[in-house]
Structures are given as structure tokens and as C-alpha cells.
Structure 1
Amino acid sequence: MSDAAPDGVDEELVELTRELVSIPSHDDETAAGDAIEAWLRAETDAEVTRDDAGNVVARRGDADAPALALVGHHDVVPPGDPQTDDGEYVVERRDGRVYGRGTADMKGSVAAAMVAFRDADPDCELVFASFVGEEVGGVGARAAIDDGFAPEYALVAEGSTDYSKPGVTDVVVAHRGRRASTLRVAGESAHASRPAEGQNAVYRACDAVDVVRELEFPETEVMGEPVRGSVAVTEIDGGSAWNVVPDRCTVTVDERTVPGSYAPLERTEDVDGVTWEVDQDLPPMACDDDAFADAALAAARAAQAGDPEHVVKPHATDAGWLSEAGTTCVVCGASEPGEAHTDTESVSVDVLGRCYRTYRGLAEDASAFAD
């Protein structure tokens, strides 16, 4: 099957992607949200709302049926120097790809979801949602959930292209989360010429680092796919002068979590003077419905010539927040590994069409998974 979208939709996807990418949204997502809201109001007869956080949500179809949400975000990380010109975002199309900040992560997939939302003939309640603040910890998703956003199912349009093999867009059934921690270590200062009179906070920190080093990585399995976490010390800071025994030290720990399991970092507090603090905890995601995961994979297979698979994604997404709140999720989108957040960020035009077909196909086959 061709990856192209039907009836000239490819060009519409490119132009909509270019329009969204051209709108700066690394400091303030308002203008990008305005553009998405205006397009939905002009192109669909959906009920479109904008909440206080800036999230854009649209609904159409049978409100009494289970809801399927196509979910994205319209904030981006700050652009690199090659991606701006006199303060404007640079957007270019060449060699079958669209280049610019946010093309891959994830305004290209947002555009595909918008057009699929418009064109689908759903046999469910179909929801489109584009959140703010995904890049800073899921601010928009959490606000929407707190405000009652609770679809039964969601396809989160983050990247899943080229995961199992080159040239396919896969369906993610699980992803890791991220827990960021700080170990705060207290000691007692003394003159470095008489170290025994103090308690060296750096030595205690090294003992705590040894505890972290020996921890086993958490592991689990989702729909036959192995999910393995990781734990790593990434920063250490302590001491005030070359001749003073340090009375304080901090250690930063990056942990990639798996559904249902954490590394036992509390063991570090067995070391004298160590206090463990969690700074950020982005939840992992595990799809809890075989029928939904299979329907999404069937839609992805019908949308492309390749043979996509159920896969695991290493990065946290807003699917983690939705899954934690009770929504059954998968992830499927245009971004490829190594594209997001780079100075050469881009998205394939063909893959945009592929995502459009997948999203539309899943919405039109909701009877395969929704009771």
C-alpha cells in the first residue's frame, strides 16, 4: 500500500505543518493554540474548547459512545540558531521532508491528527486534543486531567517511526517514565589539615553513589514486549574550598522507570547524612487493552507498505499522565529517533500521510475495540 494520503491530502498536511511550525511556541504557546483552534472551528463542526491552561480540545461524533482521543502538544523546545532568521522560525521543504523546530516533535503529527479528526467518519466519540507544556513535565495534560479530560482511549501522536525497522511507523504499547532525584548529603566541616575532626560529605556521597551503582534496573513486560529501566548518577557537587572538609554535597540521579516498578533509591538513606528527594516523576505508560493495541496496529498496517509492530518507546510522553488517570493509551507518530530537539529537526512528508491514514483508520474502526 502507498504511504501517500488520499485525494491530495499530503499537500494539505504539508501546508498545515508549515503553518504550525512557523509559529513560535517555545516561550508562549498562545499563538499556536489560536491557529489550531481557528482551523478546527473553520474546518469542522466539532465542539471546540480552550481551557485556562491553553489546551485545545475538540469533540465530534456520538457523545454516548466510548471516546477515542487523538492527542498531541503544540509547545516546542527552544529553536537552535539555524532554525531562526531575524526572530522568525525557519521552515523549509526539501528532499521529501519538512525542516524546522517542531516538525518532528510534534506539530507534523498534530497536523495529521487535525486533518484525520476532520475527515474521519467515526463510530465513536472522536476527540482531538493538543496540549501545552508537554516539554516541561506535562503541564497541559495534567491540567486537562484535573479538569475532567478522561477519554476511554487515546492515541498519543508522539514518535514511533523507524523503531522496529527502517521505513515503518510502529505502535508503542509501553514507554518508560523518568524520575529525577537529588541526594542531599550533610557532613561536618573541618580544616583539611585535620580531616578526622569533620565528617566529609563528599565521602558520604560516594558511599551513596555506590548504593546507586549496585541497584538492579527495574524490568517488566507489556504485551510480550520487554521494558527495562535504568538508573544513573549524572551530577555531583560538593565542597567550598580546597582546604575545607566539605559539610554538604548533592548528587543528581536520573532513573528511567517501567510500568509498576521503581528502583529502590530509598536505600541511599541508609548512609549517614543522606536525604533522598524526588524532583520530578514522569509516569511510564502500559497499554492495558489487547483489542485496542491490536486495532491500532491493524490501522497502522493498512496505512503503509511496511510491516509495523508493537514496540516499546524509551521516552516519557503525555500518554503516561493519561494512562495513570485511567485512559487506555498507545503511541503512534511521525517522529523518528534522533530527530526531536535537534538543529536539523525534520519530518517525512510521506510519513505524515501515513499517520493521517492510521489515525483516520483507527477512528473509523472503533467497533474493533470499544464496547
Structure 2
Amino acid sequence: MDVASLTRELVSIPSHAGPDSDESAAGEFVAAWLREHTDAAVEFDDHGNVIARKGGGDGGESLALVGHHDVVPPDDSQIDADGNYVLDERDGRLYGRGTADMKGCLAAAMLAFRDASEPNSGELVFASFAGEERGGVGCRAAVDDGFAPDYAVVGEGSTGYSATGVTDVAVAHKGRRGSTVVAEGAAAHASEPEAGENAIYRATDAVDIVRDLDFPTTEVLGHELTGSVAVTEIDGGSAWNVIPERCEVTVDERTVPDERAPLERVEAIDGVSRRVDQDLPPMACGDAGFADAVLDAAAAAQDARPEHVVKPHATDAGWLAAAGTDCVVVGAAEPGEAHTAEETVAIEVLERCRGIYENVAASWPE
């Protein structure tokens, strides 16, 4: 079976969270395929994750090939009248929800895991998580249950960063912390503003503080990674003639390893508080030898010269890194290909990623 055929099978299975779909069927397919095509110990756990293992009897180091089988909800153009996912192939590319993010590279990892020999030492692991698109709920649950490989190659997109069409090796990515700044005041008639406390004024004072914050910056294996912080939404007031008693401001922060913007400064303003709604961790590979070994594996699978790069988007690698796993990200998706109505991936690059995963599995653990 080639990677395009397996990708077609995976993409055909609806796996977005919603009233008419969930990820369980896709997870069951992955588990059943691994049981049929490998001798690995395969687990389909209560969280919807699929984890398969080869070797591991000697207590050596472990390497995991990691992906996820859920997708974001499809565009109307990506489903037919019966609710089935639509898959199209043309000009050497697959089009459809999940092709790029990330059932194509999930297929590549499944085939690489199938074809890999049982390691002489250590353990080779395959993991496909549920709920990556919902904040990494499957990966987080697996970590809580003790999932802790020494090293991981996560199959999210890393193609087209150093140059068009080149599949690079991402050694770091940003995280995302989403916060809500809440300003509270006291209502009054707008004809007597001094009788109240204007929550919008307090909120805009907080916005001024956020606007003046420096972006967090760090360095990972010689590469600079710069985060960001921005106000993205504001909501306050109840009527045109009422002094507002409440106003909320959404702040989007892209975090970097070990650095955060000091958003707590807004709480120095009277009536202003802050809550964190989402905190997806960043990732930084701490093992230069592993990062170089994967780069060599990537170079051997393509004519172009790949590079170590950094990604702007959070992935499950962040949760694994926070638990102590040294991660890199290597995958077929290029910037702008995922989460769109025209989601697409190149079959040639999927085959390349399969080769990269096979090369890594053959050479690591050392």
C-alpha cells in the first residue's frame, strides 16, 4: 500500500468534533490497521488515542512517531449531501479536509512504523492522538497516563519554511496563551458620568499597557524565536446612555519557551482582573544531536538541502516537550495549506516524509 492510498482511506473517515461526527471511527481504523499489518503491541485507549510499540524490553531509549487523527470541521465544499468527506486528486495533489493536517503524514508514519525493524535497543513507538484540534486533549491525557518517550518526531507541517518545496526540521514552535482582561466599574446615567465608574475607560487603560509590552524572545539551537502579544477583541457596555459597568478584552499571546509577556501588569489598574482561557505550550528541542540526526534523515530523503527552522503554530509537540520529551516537527504541510476550504497536500512530499520517518526509525535511538 502506498501513502496516497492510505491517506485516501483515512481522509474518507469523518473525524471532526460535532453533533454528527467524532474521532472514534478514525482512531478505530488506525488501531485495526496496525493490528493487521504489524506485530506491535497496539492500544486504543479510553481517550481515543492509538499507541503502538515495538521493542522496549531492554529499557533503552524510546523514539515516537506522533500524529493525530482528528480534523477541524470541514467547509461545506468538503462534504457531500450525505455528510461524507469529499476527496479529490489532481496534478499530483490530494484535496480534502485532513489531507494536510494531518492524515497524510499520519499515513506516512503508519507505513514507516509498519516497515521498521524492531529496534536492537530501546523502543519504537507510534502514537496517534485524539483532540489535537481541541487543545491537545488526547496528548495531555496520554501524558497524564504516563506516555513519555525520550524522543519524538511529530508529523505536523514543516515544508516550505527555508525554501519552496523543501521539507525542513522544526526544532521549536510557539505556544499560545489566550487571556481575557475583565474591567469592572459602576453603572450610571450617561448624563452624569461622574456618578459611575466607566469600565471601558479602565479597559482601555489596560489595552495601553498591553500595547507597550515587549514581545517575548528566546533562542533555540541558534535560532531566534520571537513571540507576540495583541489585543484581538473588546466587548463592553449595555446601552448608548449608560456608563458601562463591565468590559472584556481578549489578548492573544504567542509564547516562546521559558518567556512570557508580563500581562499581570494590567491588574495594577483598579477594577481590572485577568483570567487565562487557553495555554498551549511552546516547544524547544533540547538535544542538538537528535535534531541533527533528523536533519540528516531529511536530507537523505530529498535532493534539496533542508534546514533547522522554527514554526509559528502550537502542536502536540508542546505538551510532549513540557513532559520531558525532546521533539522535532517534520511534516508535509506547507504554510497556508491546512484548515482551509482548499486544504491540500502534495503526494510526492508525503512519500518524502515517509522516507524521512523510515530513516529516523532506522538510525535512532543510537
Query: Could you tell me the TM-score, scaled by structure 1's length?
Result: 0.95
Match of 2:14 among 24, 30, 52: 24
Residue 96 (structure 1) aligns with: 92
Alignment of 1:330-349 (within 5 A): 330-349=328-347
Partners of 1:220 and 1:146 lie apart in 2 by 28
The answer to whether 1:74 aligns with 2:64 is no
Residue 109 (structure 2) aligns with: 113
- RMSD in angstroms over aligned alpha carbons? 0.8
Alignment of 1:52-63 (within 5 A): 52-63=46-57
Amino acid at match of 1:71: V
Q: Show structure 1 runs of 4+ deviating over 6 A.
A: none
Amino acid at match of 1:14: A
The answer to whether 1:286 aligns with 2:280 is no
Q: Which moved more, 1:199-208 or 1:122-131?
A: 122-131
Deviation of residue 202 (structure 1)? 0.2
Amino acid at match of 1:299: A
Partners of 1:310 and 1:219 lie apart in 2 by 18
Partners of 1:58 and 1:204 lie apart in 2 by 53
Residue 245 (structure 2) aligns with: 247
The answer to whether 1:43 aligns with 2:37 is yes
Partners of 1:101 and 1:89 lie apart in 2 by 7
Partners of 2:108 and 2:3 lie apart in 1 by 6
The answer to whether 1:145 aligns with 2:143 is yes
Amino acid at match of 1:180: G
Gap regions ≥5 residues in structure 1: 1-8
**Which deviations, in whole Å up to 9, do the C-alpha atoms of 1:108-165 show, x marking residues without a partner?**
0000000000112244411000000000100000000011101000001100000110
Gap regions ≥5 residues in structure 2: none
Residue 321 (structure 2) aligns with: 323
**Which deviations, in whole Å up to 9, do the C-alpha atoms of 1:63-105 show, x marking residues without a partner?**
3221100000000000001101111100111100111100000
The answer to whether 1:168 aligns with 2:134 is no
Name the SS of the counterpart of 1:312 in structure 2: strand
Partners of 1:250 and 1:352 lie apart in 2 by 44
Residue 260 (structure 2) aligns with: 262
Kept after mapping to 1: 8 A contact 2:28/2:44: no
Aligned residue pairs, count: 358
Match of 1:363 among 331, 344, 361: 361
**Which deviations, in whole Å up to 9, do the C-alpha atoms of 1:284-309 show, x marking residues without a partner?**
00000000000000000001111100
Residue 179 (structure 1) aligns with: 177
Deviation of residue 166 (structure 1)? 0.5
**Which deviations, in whole Å up to 9, do the C-alpha atoms of 1:292-329 show, x marking residues without a partner?**
00000000000111110000000000000000000110
Partners of 1:114 and 1:63 lie apart in 2 by 22
Name the SS of the counterpart of 2:39 in structure 1: coil
Amino acid at match of 1:115: L
Q: Which moved more, 1:204-213 or 1:358-367?
A: 358-367
Deviation of residue 15 (structure 1)? 0.6
Deviation of residue 62 (structure 1)? 3.9
Amino acid at match of 1:233: V
Amino acid at match of 2:64: A
Partners of 1:127 and 1:360 lie apart in 2 by 13
Deviation of residue 61 (structure 1)? 2.6
Name the SS of the counterpart of 1:85 in structure 2: coil
Name the SS of the counterpart of 1:210 in structure 2: helix
